[in-house]
Amino acid sequence: MKAVFDTSPTSAYDDDIAHRYHFPPRYLDIVKECIGDWVIFRQPRAGGGSKAYFAVGMVTKLIPDQANPGYHYAAIAKFLPFDRPTSWRVGDQYREGALRHLADVSMVGLYLRGRSVRPIDQSDFAAVVYAGLSNTLAPFNARKLGLESHEVDASTEELLALSEDHFERRVEAVLLNRKIRDANFRLAVCDAYDNRCAVTGLRIVNGGGRSEVQAAHIWSVADGGPDTIQNGIALSATAHWLFDRHLISLTDEYGLLVSHNKVPSDYRSLLEKQAGRIHLPSEMRLWPSLRYITHHRDRFAGN
């Protein structure tokens, strides 16, 4: 069963949305039905939220909260942030059928009390995802994101060509497609870093609007890292190569660490000129998570 999970920045629950969703006993039966299926995350206005859907993920299992009897965690996999917050209304129509069918719209707030976890039907789910990934899927962004026809396989090209009317039956395939997920990740990371390499500070955008920097995962997806901007860093091709092989890494103060024994001397001298903190996004909330940096640095230390 697909569902909407509400969460806010000031939630008292022990959420780590890319990995787990913490909930009280009253939602247990509903969440059980979500295991193996997709859920949409929404921030309500209460608690500093934006009253918008902002990401999607898959519930894989339930984990009892040992410190709070009756409470559980929903383990989340395949987490994917939307490329833009998606309003919970289109004009005067709510995106969730249960809200659209209320006879008195003034009762929406009352209806949602005690329903921070609630079912959503397949067509509404698909419509929210389609809106949330509209920039990633837009044809005018294909060149920028490496999604032109000569850069993708036939199945990906077919998914990118889906109209909104046909999106519902293939929405899960879109959410699992690695090329589309990478494009979504690239869009978020490169925009956050203003298309500048975090290590060299160089900003190069070619005539087609594609940035020469690449979006690198700090904690690799293959090892369980999420496709979140806080797990990303914009790097030039060479810096990306070194970073993926844990030959360079970061301190907790966002300084650069270099493996002096394994990085070629000519490039090492260039890196050593990058004194102080690396180039970071202007908004601190978009900076790399120290949790992911620590994971990467542990591998660096082993080199």
- Which SS3 state, helix, strand or coil, does residue 47 take? coil
CA gap 104, 252 in Å, rounded: 52
Residue type, 259: S
Instruction: State the DSSP code for 162.
Output: -
Q: What is the pLDDT of residues 183-220, one digit of tens each?
A: 999 999 999 999 999 998 888 787 667 788 999 999 99
Q: Which helix (H) or strand (E) holds 257?
A: strand 256-258
Query: How does residue 37 score in pLDDT terms, banded at 50, 70 and 90?
Result: very high
- Which SS3 state, helix, strand or coil, does residue 38 take? strand
The model carries a pTM of 0.92
In order, the DSSP letters of 228-252 are -GGGEEEE-HHHHHHHHTTSEEE-T
Residue 199 φ/ψ, nearest 5 degrees: -85, -50
> Residue 263's pLDDT is what?
76
Q: Does domain 3-132 have CATH number 3.10.590.10?
A: yes
> Residue 210's pLDDT is what?
77
In the chain, the percentage of residues whose pLDDT exceeds 70 is 93
> Residue 47's pLDDT is what?
46
Buried b (16+ CB within 10 A) or exposed e, 232-269: bbbbbeebbebbeebbbbbeeebebbbbeeebeeeebe
Question: Residue range 116-135: average pLDDT?
Answer: 97
* Range(s) within the chain of domains with CATH label 3.10.590.10: 3-132
6 bridge partner residues: 42
